[in-house]
Chains A and B, each alone.
Chain A
Amino acid sequence: MESIVSTFHIDWKIIIAQAVNFSIVFAVLYYYALKPLSKLMKEREDKISKGISDAKTNAEVLDKSVKEYENTLAKARAEANVLFQKGTKEAEKKKTEMLESAKSEAEAVIINAKKILEAEKIKIIEEAKKEIVSLAMIATEKILKAKIDANFDEKTAKELNNL
C-alpha cells in the first residue's frame, strides 16, 4: 500500500482539493445550467405536447363539425326536397281546383249570359213585335188617312223611307 502511495504520490490533501473542485463544478453546473435548462426544456416539451394534443382535438372538432355540417346540409336538402314535392303537389292540386272552379264559374257565367241573352232576345222580340204592331197600326192609320188624303202614295213612300 505504501509503495502505491509513494509511487503515485497519493496525497489526501490533493484528493480533497480535487473533490472540492468537482463539487464546485457539480454545484455550478446544476444550479446555473442543468436545472434551468432542464426546466426550460420540460416547459417547451409540455408546450409542444399540449400544442399537438390541442391540434389533435381541434382536428377532431373540425372533423366532427364538418360531418355535422354535411349531415345538417343533407338533412336540410332532404327536407327541402320533401317540402318542394309537397308544395308542387299542393300547387298542382290548387291549380286544378282553381281551373275547375274557373271553368265552372265560366260555364255558369256563360249559362247565365245565355239566359240573359235569351231573356233579352225574347224581350227584344217582344218589343219588336210590339213596335211592329204599333208600326203596323200607325201604317194602317196612315193608309187609312191616305185614302182620305190625295197625296197618300208619295207621302207614304217618303215616310217609309225615313223609318
Chain B
Amino acid sequence: MEKEGQQTTVKEQISYETTLFAEPILHYHGFTITNSLLTSTSAVIILVIIAVILRLKLKEVPGKLQNIFEVIIEGALGLCDQVTNNRKISVKVFPIAISVFFFILVNNWLGLVPIGGLGLLEKTENGLSFIPFLRGGTADINTTFALAIMAVISANIFGILSIGIWKTFNKYVNLKALGEIFTKIKKDKTVILVAPITFFVGLIEIIGEFAKVASLSFRLFGNVFAGEVLLASMASLVAYVIPIPFMFLEILVGVIQALVFSMLLVVYFTISSTDHDHEEHNEHNTHDEHEKINKESIIISKV
C-alpha cells in the first residue's frame, strides 16, 4: 500500500506541460541540443534519404515516387507563376521555395508523430517534468527565426542580383528621391514635399524588412505551437478517439503553414526583384497613351 502511495505521488509530480520553448535534451561542449533541433535534424535526414532515393530511381519513364514529385513540382511551379507572373523569376525562386516547403512540412508532421511520447524525466524547480524527444522543429522560435532571416536576406540578395545594388539600396535609402528635389524643382514644385516623404517611406521599408522576419517567424511558430498545445489539451481531456480529428486538422495545418511560408517567400522574392521606377515609368507611359487615345477620339468625334 505504501509503495502504491509513493508511485501515485511520483506520477502526480511529473509535469507534462508544453513549454513555449524547446527543451534541452543534451549538452555537448557548451552546445545545447534541444528536442526541436533533434526533430529538425531528423527531418533533414528524412529529406536527404528521399532526395537520394529519388536521384537513384530517376528514369525517363517515371516510377511512383518520381511521379509524385513531378506532380508536386509542376503544381508548385504553377503556383509560383501565379505569384510572380514571370516564368524566369519562378524558375529561380522555385528551388528555395519548395525546399522551405518540404523542410517546414516534414518538421510540422514530425511534431505530430506519437513517438513524442518517448522522452526524458528531468528534475526541475517544480518537480519532475517530462521532456519529449520529438518536438515539432517549427514549434521552436529558433527554427522559424532562422528560416525567416534566411528568407529575408536571400530575398534582398536576389533583388540585388535582379535589379542591381543601386536600385535595391534606393528602396531603403532613397537618395534618388532626394536628388529629384534639385533636378525637378523647376518643372514640378510639389517635389519638395513628395521627395522627403518618398525618402521616409524608404526608411520605413527597412523597418518593414524586420517586420517581415518577425511576422514570418511568429506566424509559423504560433500556429504550430498552438496545434501542439491543442493536441496535448485534447489528449489530456479524453485520451482516445477525440484527439484523432484534431490530429487530422493539424496534418492539414502543417501543409497550410508550410504553403503560406513558402508562398510569402516567393512574394518577397518577387517584390525585391521588381524595379519600381520601371513600373512607374510604364504606368506613366500608359497614362500618356490613354490621354493620346482620348484626344484622338475627341477629334474623331468632332469631325
| A-to-B contact residues, CB < 8 Å | 7-11, 13-19, 21-22, 24-26, 28-30, 32-38, 40-41, 43-44
Cross-interface CB contact of B95 among A17, A30, A40, A44, cutoff 8 Å: A30
Known contacts A8-B21, A21-B44, A37 near B58 by CB under 8 Å:
yes
Taking the nearest CB of chain B, how far is it from the CB of A97, in angstroms?
78
Contact A21 B73 (CB under 8 A): no
Contact A40 B99 (CB under 8 A): no
Known contacts A11-B142, A34-B98, A21 near B69 by CB under 8 Å:
no
Known contacts A8-B21, A8-B141, A30-B95, A19 near B48 by CB under 8 Å:
no
Contact A14 B142 (CB under 8 A): yes
Contact B60 A15 (CB under 8 A): no
| Best-buried of A15, A40, A43 by chain B (most CB within 10 Å) | A15
The 7 closest A-B pairs by CB, nearest first: A9-B21, A18-B146, A32-B51, A14-B142, A26-B99, A32-B55, A8-B141
Instruction: State how many residues of chain B have any CB contact under 8 Å with chain A.
Output: 43
Q: How far is the CA of A66 from the CA of B51 in the complex (A)?
A: 52
Residues of chain A lying within 8 A (CB to CB) of residue B96: 26
Stretch at the interface among B2-10, B29-37, B167-175, B267-275: B29-37
Contact A15 B58 (CB under 8 A): no
Taking the nearest CB of chain B, how far is it from the CB of A43, in angstroms?
8
Contact B103 A15 (CB under 8 A): no
Taking the nearest CB of chain A, how far is it from the CB of B223, in angstroms?
15
Give B104's nearest chain A residue, CB to CB: A22
Cβ-based interface call for B211 (8 A): no
Chain A interface helix/strand/loop/mixed: helix
Contact A25 B102 (CB under 8 A): yes
Contact A38 B73 (CB under 8 A): yes
Contact B66 A37 (CB under 8 A): yes
Residues of chain B lying within 8 A (CB to CB) of residue A8: 20-21, 141-142
**Hey, what's the 0/1 contact readout for B21-61 against A, CB within 8 Å counting as 1?**
11000000001101001001101100110111011001010
Cβ-based interface call for B235 (8 A): no
Give A27's nearest chain B residue, CB to CB: B99
Can you list 25 contacts pairing A with B, beta carbon distance less than 8 Å?
A7-B21, A8-B21, A8-B141, A9-B141, A10-B142, A11-B32, A14-B32, A18-B137, A18-B143, A18-B145, A21-B41, A22-B103, A22-B150, A25-B102, A28-B51, A29-B47, A29-B95, A30-B99, A32-B55, A34-B95, A35-B95, A37-B66, A37-B69, A38-B73, A40-B58
Residues of chain B lying within 8 A (CB to CB) of residue A11: 32, 142
Contact B34 A33 (CB under 8 A): no
Contact B102 A29 (CB under 8 A): yes
Known contacts A8-B141, A13-B31, A25-B102, A33 near B54 by CB under 8 Å:
yes
Known contacts A25-B47, A29-B99, A32-B54, A13 near B40 by CB under 8 Å:
no
Give B98's nearest chain A residue, CB to CB: A34
Q: How far is the CA of A32 from the CA of B20 in the complex (A)?
A: 36
Contact A28 B60 (CB under 8 A): no
Cβ-based interface call for B83 (8 A): no
Residues of chain B lying within 8 A (CB to CB) of residue A29: 47, 51, 95, 98-99, 102
